[in-house]
Amino acid sequence: MLEELSLHLLDMAMNSLAAGARCVQIAVLESAKRNWLIVRVRDDGHGMDAATLERVLRGHSGKQSRKKKIGLGLALLRQTSEMCGGHFHVRSAPGRGTAVAASMRYHHVDRPPLGDLQATMLALCAANPAVDVQLHYQSDDGKFFFSSQEQKG
């Protein structure tokens, strides 16, 4: 359904914006040499309690979820990461923001491509100019850091 990891990142960051985050930190760490890839989204939004988190991880089911706005983005990412030999982790608490991390084997045959990370970032920058959207990227070739608030100069 979400065929690129950068679409998952957009989906998660949209959840962060909906949670009232002022700062959304996205990280993409990949190494072909060491055969791993990690995507991570961390925000300072209003967070989730344990029951909500459990529902989110299970993915939506039927009418009730529609009312409560539970989607299936995270459930899908979890499935992808576990299928690709990685781990999936969420930490969230009311008032303390949410952090999601998914790892996978870089060379796993089912690993989705990273896709158009630039388009994801530009969409997020335009989505809410008051929020600081950050990207930490690291690969075998080097590092890159971006912050939407820095661009205002």
Partner 1 sequence: MNLEELKKLKEKAQRQVALREGNKKYRVVVSMGTSGIAAGARDVMKTMLDEIEKRGLDDVEIRVTGEHGLEDVEPVIRVEQADGEEVTYARLNAEKAKQIVAEHLAKGKKVDNLAVGKQKKAE
Does residue 134 bind partner 1 (CB under 8 A)? no
Name the one residue in this structure whose structure tokens are 């969230």.
92
- 137: exposed, middle or buried (C-beta count within 10 Å: 0-12, 13-18, 19+)? middle
Listed ranges 42-50, 82-90, 98-106, 139-147: which one lies at the site for partner 1 (CB under 8 A):
139-147
Please give the C-alpha separations between residue 105 and each of 65, 98, 110, 113, 115, in angstroms, as whole numbers: 32, 24, 9, 12, 16
φ, ψ for residue 61, nearest 5 deg: -145, 105
Does residue 112 bind partner 1 (CB under 8 A)? no
Member of 84, 104, 114, 131 binding partner 1 (CB under 8 A): 114
Does residue 99 bind partner 1 (CB under 8 A)? no
Please choose, from the candidates 81, 82, 100, the residue with its C-alpha nearest in 3D space to the C-alpha of residue 92: 100
Q: How many CB atoms lie within 10 A of CB 3?
A: 10
Please choose, from the candidates 51, 50, 59, 47, the residue with its C-alpha nearest in 3D space to the C-alpha of residue 16: 47
Looking at the Cβ atoms of 17 and 99, the one nearer to partner 1 is 17
Member of 38, 120, 131, 134 binding partner 1 (CB under 8 A): 120
Does residue 73 bind partner 1 (CB under 8 A)? yes
Does residue 52 bind partner 1 (CB under 8 A)? no
Does residue 1 bind partner 1 (CB under 8 A)? yes
- The footprint of partner 1 (CB under 8 A) covers 1-2, 7, 10-11, 14, 17-18, 28, 30, 69, 71-73, 114, 116-123, 125-129, 135, 137, 139, 141-142, 144, 146, 148, 151-153
